[in-house]
Amino acid sequence: MSLQVKLSDYFYVMLFFYPLDFMIICPIEIAFFCDRYSEFEKINTEVLKVSVDSVFSHLAWVQTERKLGGLGNLHYPLVSDISKSISKAYNIHISNLGIALGGLFMLAAGSQKQQASSSKWHKRQASDDPAPSRKAVVQL
């Protein structure tokens, strides 16, 4: 299944990059955002998760239950950056590995303002709580 997504369709966008589907840390972070999606809706914010995986990998991951390392029911889109053009545009692509760093970009529609953070994917911790960042979008 393919869905065309334009950033201009949303007032605020939380663009979250992760390296690859089925990595142990990724489902924890993605589930965190999914379980709190209604909080993002209240502040007129769309969540988009991006990786270099194909739409087929995303589909398999969503169809796998959480208890088995999958995502289960997801309330927002996973974006396939198989061409790596998005991760390169946001300057978080690791060319020798062919993946993106974990990165979080808070974007405001019609504005050049954004807040960004990124980290080495192998140094992220399951306890990292991105919750404070979701409120930062309102300040843009």
User: Which residues are annotated as catalytic?
Assistant: 26
For residue 25, give every residue at least 6 positions away whose Cβ sits within 8 Å of its Cβ, in sequence order, or none.
121, 124, 125, 126
The 3-state secondary structure of 23-50 reads CCHHHHHHHHHHHCHHHHHHCCEEEEEE
**Distances from the Cα of 83 to the Cα of 16, 86, 100, angstroms:** 17, 8, 12
CA distance 52 to 93: 9
